[in-house]
Amino acid sequence: MGRPYAASADGTRVNGETKIGAAVHDFFHTFFDWSEIAGALPSLLGEGLRNTLLIAVLAIIFGLVCGMLLAVLLLSRRRLVRLPARIYVDVFRGLPAIVTVSLIGLGLPAAGIRPFGRSPLGYAVVAVGLISAAYCAEIFRAGIQAVPAGQMQAGRSLGMSYLKTMRLVIVPQGVRNVLPALTGQFIVDVKESSLVYLLGLSVGQRELYFIAQERQAASYNASALVAAGLCYLVITIPLTYFVNWLDRRMREGRPARAGAEEPLPEPALAEG
């Protein structure tokens, strides 16, 4: 006790390179053992990646659709419309994801509510999607509120209803405002898909983390976890670049900008 580092420092000095060499070897063996990784890869890439993507993509879609509806409710002028949406957002943003996933994935089936039968994947999609919806709602709300008020006035002055103006004018511009912010949420959804491990998965249902964690428990070697981590990065990093690309494209619109610099023509009406 007291000087936990001193002993090893002394030991290192005494035994010299062999001790360092052993530690480095242990480290690499634990995290980067090639045979472990090679053994894990087939099920990670075959089964795991597919199920992770399945949960994440469905949860993201669920979150986007429900989040947009919630955002419109949050922006309502009527308190009674705003209030339930507000409560929903506060609750689902405030709960730890692990609690929400357990409540839905373990609680609902226990209560006899089994819309997805015995497959945990459906419950995971709903749980991660519900959480995502709460965050997406706040992101969309901020984006929509950043659209200048004049856009709504212009839409209404042309005879479009409030909802029509929202749908055709405000929301499309609001979404453009928040694409980069949504990327962060998509990444969170991908990562939270791993919480499905709580629900217990049988072969065929396993996602990246579950497979890696099973192998780690069996071999006491973390290399499969490293491989799973790399698989997550293979999803999340390109996702960021894809959304950034989408963002740029939307901002610039179609490439017809050449005429912007053309001299102004005389207004035809002036001649009449």
Partner 1 sequence: MPTTPPPARPAPPGSAISVRDLRKSYGRNEVLRGVTFDVAPSEVLCVLGPSGSGKSTMLKCLNLLETPTAGSVVVGGVTLTDPGVDIDAARTRIGMVFQHFNLFGHLSALDNVTLALRHVKKVSKAEAEEIGHSQLKRLGLGHVARHRPANLSGGQQQRVAIARSLAMRPEVMLFDEATSALDPELVKEVLAVMRELAGSGMTMVVVTHEIGFAREAADRVIFMDEGLIAEDGDARELLDHPPGTRFREFLAQVL
Applying CB under 8 A, does 84 fall inside the site for partner 1? Answer: no
CA distance 94 to 261: 51
Q: Which stretch binds partner 1 (CB under 8 A): 21-29, 78-86, 120-128, 149-157?
A: 149-157
Smallest gap from Cβ 73 to partner 1, in A, equals: 22
Applying CB under 8 A, does 150 fall inside the site for partner 1? Answer: yes
Smallest gap from Cβ 182 to partner 1, in A, equals: 17
Applying CB under 8 A, does 270 fall inside the site for partner 1? Answer: yes
Using DSSP's 3-state secondary structure scheme, residue 78 falls into: coil
CA distance 143 to 203: 42
Q: Exposed e or buried b for every residue in 17-41, given b needs 16+ CB within 10 A? A: eeeeeeeeeeeeebeebeebbebbe
Q: Which of 11, 161, 180, 242 binds partner 1 (CB under 8 A)?
A: 161
Alpha helices in the chain (DSSP H): 4-15, 17-31, 34-43, 49-74, 79-94, 97-102, 108-110, 120-145, 149-157, 162-165, 171-192, 208-219, 223-252, 268-271
* Residue (75 or 108) nearer to partner 1, CB: 75
- Long-range contacts, 102-108 (Cβ 8 Å, 24+): 102/198, 103/127, 104/130, 105/196, 105/198, 105/199, 106/198, 106/199
Q: Which of 42, 46, 84, 148 binds partner 1 (CB under 8 A)?
A: 148
| CB 211 within 8 Å of CB 47 | yes
Of residues 225-254, which lie at the interface with partner 1 (CB under 8 A)?
Answer: 250, 253-254
Of residues 166-185, which lie at the interface with partner 1 (CB under 8 A)?
Answer: 168-169, 172-173, 176
Applying CB under 8 A, does 117 fall inside the site for partner 1? Answer: no
Applying CB under 8 A, does 7 fall inside the site for partner 1? Answer: no
Smallest gap from Cβ 61 to partner 1, in A, equals: 22
Applying CB under 8 A, does 78 fall inside the site for partner 1? Answer: no
* Residue (6 or 270) nearer to partner 1, CB: 270
* Residue (65 or 168) nearer to partner 1, CB: 168
Task: Return the closest-CA partner of residue 200 out of 272, 142, 124, 100.
Answer: 124
Smallest gap from Cβ 179 to partner 1, in A, equals: 13
* Residue (214 or 247) nearer to partner 1, CB: 247
CA–CA–CA angle 18, 21, 26 (5° rounding): 125
Residues in touch with partner 1 (CB under 8 A): 148, 150-151, 153-161, 164, 168-169, 172-173, 176, 250, 253-254, 256-257, 259-260, 262, 264-270, 272
